[in-house]
Structure 1
Amino acid sequence: MTFAALMTTTFRARRAVLPAVAALMILAAPPSATAGVTAFKQAVAEGAARADGLAAHYRATGFEPIWTAQDDLGRARRQALMQAIEDAPSHGLPASRYDAPGLMAMMRAARTPRDLGAVEIEMSRIFIRLAHDLHTGMLTPSKVVADIVREIPVRSDEDLLSSFASDQGPPAGFFRALTPKSGEYARLLRAKTQLEGLLATGGWGPAVPAASLAPGQSGPAVVALRNRLMRMGYLDRTATGTYDISIQQAVQQFQSAHGLVADGTAGSDTMAEINKPISERLPMIHVAMERERWLNKPRGDRHILVNLADFTARIMDHDRLTFETRAVIGKDASGQRSPEFSDEMEYMEINPVWNVPRSITVKEYLPQMQRNRGAVSHLKLYNSRGQQVSRANVNFNAYTARTFPFDLKQPPSNRNALGLVKFMFPNKYNIYLHDTPSKNLFNRNVRAFSHGCIRLQRPFDFAYELLSRQEAEPKPYFDRILNSGRQTRVNMQEHVPVHIIYRTATAPAKGPVQYRPDIYGRDGLIWDALQKVGVSLPAVQG
């Protein structure tokens, strides 16, 4: 039996997707005869049966085609899918995951209604994989890093198929709508493209052959530093061979963008960062894009963004920075690394009582009290009924970490471990933001010292900004409660979303891409996982 040609589509194909410059796709369409339609639908039903989402969608629509229809909409959908596959590498997604050559060979070979049904299912399978990858990433984060405990806004296979099939707009628009709409994602895309372009033309040039350089020096190493800074975009074109004020200012800008002390001197730490090649920076961009897809949901017009890798906490309003403070995060030790998740701040507590977590009580303080009953005297002992207990009546050596029946609490004071205010978004991880009496830690570049909670350098200013939405005079209001010395809960009239993230590469609205060390080693694990699913860098090294 001869079947009519279903469609002919030509599109440009990038080398990463197809070896040919153009490809011709011709599918055979089933005739209007009942036998042909029945054979097509039976093939669709059989192919969809192996996946619940596919089966649910096609059963609900009577096994009607999405991709192989003989009308303009069917052609537009096929074209949109193939174009989305072609564009996938620009999003850091490996073209091999979608096997465009195999799909096109399958389409060319289709000759019967059953063949066409198989093509229909294969296109839907590829669509589902690509749609998930664009929308919420290729990886399940908690399977790569256990401390990434955020809820990923994954859509079901059936929802994606049904939404696409019922969408009234241009099919290509559906794919564009899947990717994150944050300004950060768009800027990371641009940064990736720029770095790949530089990589193809020699990267940032030769490494600087010096362990350190300082203002006033001259010679070949200074020239290499000058050339590298120009290539990186920190220095305008200049012929200077001396470490002059222009190079000093460029080094300061570089240092600020890499979380270093911005003193303008290219010491050993600065030089190590300057000499890192693009091939070490691009993976950071790839990981940041994948992470951005994991957070592909509205963040709130006003929200709090804590970047663990940057040791900062920010208040953002409509994607613009309103307030920023330094932060101390969890130690790089098992059970103490700060987790990544999102929640909502519900209230702040002024003059808080510190309820010492059980793990700290039995692992750190019980051994001290067993050696010396009077140890950690600033902490009070309470029984299960909430009654304070005198230490004189307790034989601490009679208990183990498992059997110790008491709780430890620290009353409000300037010495309180939580400082004078804490910011609460109740969660099962017992993580929150708070003040601290240990102010000296904020002067360090690497600030990983807590048991997991986030300590703020400027907690009062942070509180004033949060209260500004509900109090006409937030500072006097806060100070009045603070000066009372009493533990007081202040509810947020509107809950504020809190997003605890970990980004070693960020692309601010103004200025260069910011890079930070992978303090917990998480991004290294994510890059390894991305490589396992096919992500790779261009062959040229820079």
Structure 2
Amino acid sequence: MIRLLQMLVLAILFTILACKRDRDNTGKAHVEEKAIMIDSTSINAFFAKYPEFNEFSPEVKELYKKHNYHYIWHDRKGLIEFAEVLFNRVTQIDKEGLPLKIPYSEKLNALFFNNASSRPDLDAELLVSAMYFYWAHKVYKGLDDKESRETGWYLPREKVSYVAYLDTLMKDPGKIDNDKGEMFAQYYNLKKALHRYREIEKNGGWGTITLPEGIKVIKPGDSLTAVSQVRKRLHMEGYLDRDSGSSIFDKELTEGLTQYAMRHRQTPEKTITPALLKDLNTPVGDRIKTISVNMERCRWVSPEINTAKEFIAVNIPSYWLVYSRDGSQVLTSRVVVGKDVNKTIVFSGQLSYLVFSPYWNVPNSILEEEIKPKLEKNPNYLEEHNMEWYGKRVRQKPGSNNSLGLVKFMFPNSNNIYLHDTPAKSLFKKDERAYSHGCVRVEKARELAIAITKNDGGWNAKKVDHAMNSGKENSYILKKKIPVYIAYFTAWADDKGSVAFFEDVYERDNRLAAMLYIQ
């Protein structure tokens, strides 16, 4: 009886295994049956027919080689669902701040609206692949390296395989709507802002605010139509919770103006001036364009900064520095950047050491153009400015009047740009601070030195102060280098989509906008 039961169990096991093997073979056969082959030689003919997609030819060839020259976007019933998801994103590309006309849109519309369930067609298959690479390049990559450098952007750009990224999307289609690890986080904040400002534009935008003839400044307590116009304008951008409609310059309006100034890194004023009205009268369409060009700049920033443990970032148009560690701001500071003829370069480096009580080695350009002419008029000029000849060069000795102040932060680079202290503290009181020869002057240089050395080597304020005021040049070598990013953003949004707009100090926005709109 027991033997009979054992034989019965073995028979059942063999049956189960046989069924599983049959199912596996059937599944494999089903997959092979569904896979549709394409002729690899036909790809060149496709791009001859659709030349506007020609730049994507190498990637399309790589894609099909990787997939053994099988159709990707079709099965035997027609287009797969993900192709339609992708097409939907392409047709909404304006939400990405891209005012682009999609190549062959009529062909694509016909494909998806008229023949979505039809049998596979080679042109249709390759059109969808080309459409994917068009979308990935425009939304994720942006303008190519050469074009971004033409706008003065020299931050290194990450190389991404959009062939490999397609596999990621197909495995998890939800990423096409919510892959926030693929882009610099600021991009998504600006995208929210873009939606907000387009809604304002759709509702009629904002009108022009004018001062009555003979009125140059509006003060608290004044009652004018312009006051109610300013109130409405601030409410539209979220600086006031409500629009009371009052034409009296009251405390509520003062608070709104203060919020506006602080967001834009400006000194709050107690009056409404022509300069303020000029800023408020910027058309909403211009604000939308500014948001769009800064979304493009975000495409050029590696998303690795989203999870960086520590970094220092300087934004040139806002004249602002942020020192971040473990996702929190350790320190913020006003900065002075290069004037128009001595632009601060957009690039990145690794902060590797600090120099306390530094010498200032005068650049040859400054020596020839500024110091030598002054020496001809005043032979004592060097001595009066604590300078000396050092071989054929001139340098300024350490001290409180040294042009570099009492500390400089070095991240060696071919541009010879660094962060440093300065004795010219009064410049930090100005809202516009493009005055340097290219380096970045830091208002809170002492505090930055303390924060860095305390974390890196356990220094305290007393030790930093001693090094800064020793009168003898001395260095602190960092145990762990800190990434430094010098960037150029004329719009910056928070996670709610509220935007600060900054002066386009080097006049780069219009050129970038032209590049985007021409395409």
TM superposition score normalised by structure 2 = 0.82
Q: Which residue of 1 aligns with 2:333?
A: 325
Please point out which of 458, 472, 493 is paired with 1:486: 472
* TM-aligned CA distance change 1:163 to 1:228, over 3 Å: closer
Alignment of 1:476-515 (within 5 A): 476-509=462-495, 512-515=498-501
More helix, by proportion: 2
Contact 1:214 1:267 in 2 (8 A): no
Q: Which residue of 2 aligns with 1:161?
A: 163
Please point out which of 276, 288, 292 is paired with 1:286: 292
Contact 1:257 1:512 in 2 (8 A): no
* TM-aligned CA distance change 1:172 to 1:91, over 3 Å: same
1:488-513 CA distances to partner (integer Å, 9 max, x unpaired)? Answer: 22122222111111122111357942
* TM-aligned CA distance change 1:175 to 1:491, over 3 Å: farther
Structure 2 Cα separation of the partners of residues 413 and 482 of structure 1: 9
* TM-aligned CA distance change 1:512 to 1:126, over 3 Å: closer
Structure 2 Cα separation of the partners of residues 224 and 271 of structure 1: 10
Contact 1:252 1:263 in 2 (8 A): yes
1:82-133 CA distances to partner (integer Å, 9 max, x unpaired)? Answer: 12213322111235235443224357689999x9333333322221221122
Please point out which of 200, 205, 228 is paired with 1:223: 228
* TM-aligned CA distance change 1:142 to 1:110, over 3 Å: closer
C-alpha root-mean-square deviation of aligned residues, in Å? 3.1
Pairwise CA distance, 1:249: 1.7
Contact 1:415 1:437 in 2 (8 A): yes
Paired residue secondary structure (1:495): strand
* TM-aligned CA distance change 1:506 to 1:127, over 3 Å: same
1:52 to 2:58 alignment: yes
Q: Which moved more, 1:100-109 or 1:74-83?
A: 100-109
Query: Which 5+ residue runs of structure 2 have no aligned equivalent?
Result: 1-31, 49-53
1:459 to 2:445 alignment: yes
Q: Which residue of 2 aligns with 1:207?
A: 209
Q: Which residue of 1 aligns with 2:382?
A: 376
Q: Which residue of 2 aligns with 1:102?
A: 107
Paired residue secondary structure (1:346): strand
Query: Which 5+ residue runs of structure 1 have no aligned equivalent?
Result: 1-30, 384-405, 534-542
Please point out which of 89, 93, 109 is paired with 1:88: 93
* TM-aligned CA distance change 1:139 to 1:523, over 3 Å: farther
Contact 1:309 1:502 in 2 (8 A): yes
Q: Which residue of 2 aligns with 1:173?
A: 175
Contact 1:44 1:120 in 2 (8 A): no
Paired residue secondary structure (1:233): coil
Structure 2 Cα separation of the partners of residues 311 and 367 of structure 1: 31
Contact 1:308 1:502 in 2 (8 A): yes
Structure 2 Cα separation of the partners of residues 423 and 125 of structure 1: 47
Alignment of 1:228-243 (within 5 A): 228-235=233-240, 236-243=242-249
Paired residue secondary structure (1:186): helix
Pairwise CA distance, 1:452: 0.3
Structure 1 Cα separation of the partners of residues 65 and 498 of structure 2: 51
Paired residue secondary structure (2:80): helix
The amino acid of 2:317's aligned partner reads A
Pairwise CA distance, 1:149: 1.5
Please point out which of 429, 439, 446 is paired with 2:432: 446
Pairwise CA distance, 1:359: 2.5
Structure with larger Rg = 2
Q: Which residue of 1 aligns with 2:7?
A: none
Pairwise CA distance, 1:272: 1.4
Contact 1:205 1:227 in 2 (8 A): no
Structure 2 Cα separation of the partners of residues 256 and 445 of structure 1: 11
* TM-aligned CA distance change 1:134 to 1:53, over 3 Å: same
Alignment of 1:28-39 (within 5 A): 37=37
Q: Percent of aligned pairs with the same residue?
A: 26
Q: Which residue of 2 aligns with 1:309?
A: 317
Pairwise CA distance, 1:421: 0.5
Please point out which of 432, 438, 441 is paired with 2:418: 432
Please point out which of 189, 193, 202 is paired with 1:191: 193
Q: Which residue of 2 aligns with 1:274?
A: 280
* TM-aligned CA distance change 1:46 to 1:76, over 3 Å: same
The amino acid of 2:42's aligned partner reads A
1:155-174 CA distances to partner (integer Å, 9 max, x unpaired)? Answer: 2xxx2113423666223425
Paired residue secondary structure (2:382): coil
Contact 1:344 1:495 in 2 (8 A): yes
The amino acid of 1:258's aligned partner reads H
Pairwise CA distance, 1:486: 2.5
1:264 to 2:270 alignment: yes
Structure 1 Cα separation of the partners of residues 238 and 425 of structure 2: 36
Q: Which moved more, 1:370-379 or 1:117-126?
A: 370-379
Paired residue secondary structure (1:264): coil
TM superposition score normalised by structure 1 = 0.79
Q: Which residue of 2 aligns with 1:6?
A: none
Aligned residue pairs, count: 472
